[in-house]
Amino acid sequence: MGSLMGSDDKPDVTATGSAATGRAAAGSPQLATVSNTSVAPSNIPLSAADWNYARGALGLALTSNETGPPVPWANPETGARGNFAPAAAAVQADGRTCRDFVATRSEHGKEVQLSGRACRTPEGQWDISETTKTAL
């Protein structure tokens, strides 16, 4: 499997994991995190070091009520960076709330884009079922 949006140009559908949401305190804006227990680095197309930075951006992008600007992430140790953005409003599918997203990743001057879909589980986590490389 390689890194997020790896080096080959073939479409690649990859299961990526789950993101959970919660509130920091009463009256606080909703925060999103990705559960460390439900996402193993071997199950996502990112190095573990890069995923530590990317997962927060993914969770924030998925819980946004709008299709606004991308949520950026960057790993200063590896130089990898990218962003996640919701691609459309949430929809109901098979009794679950689902959301399409787009993402980019750049490392060593090469940028790759992907799209994906996430659905919220009954426990409130975002289950990222697949990602597909897309043309820039």
Tokens of 23: 């509130």
What was the pLDDT predicted at 135?
A: 67
Parallel, antiparallel, or unpaired for β 71-74 and 17-23? unpaired
Cα(69)–Cα(23) distance, rounded to whole angstroms?
22
What was the pLDDT predicted at 63?
A: 83
Q: Is the Cβ–Cβ distance between 85 and 71 less than 8 Å?
A: yes
User: In Å, how far from its chain's centre is CA 27?
Assistant: 26
For residue 29, give the DSSP letter: P
Cα(87)–Cα(44) distance, rounded to whole angstroms?
20
What are the average pLDDT values for consecutive 10-residue runs of the chain, which has 136 residues?
Answer: 40 42 37 38 64 83 82 94 92 89 86 86 76 76
What was the pLDDT predicted at 23?
A: 35
pTM: 0.65
What was the pLDDT predicted at 70?
A: 93
> Got the DSSP string for 36-91?
TTT--GGGSSS-HHHHHHHHHHHHHHHH-SS--S-EEEE-TTT--EEEEEE-S--E
Q: Determine phi and psi for 119, rounding to 5 degrees.
A: -125, 145
Cα(120)–Cα(90) distance, rounded to whole angstroms?
10
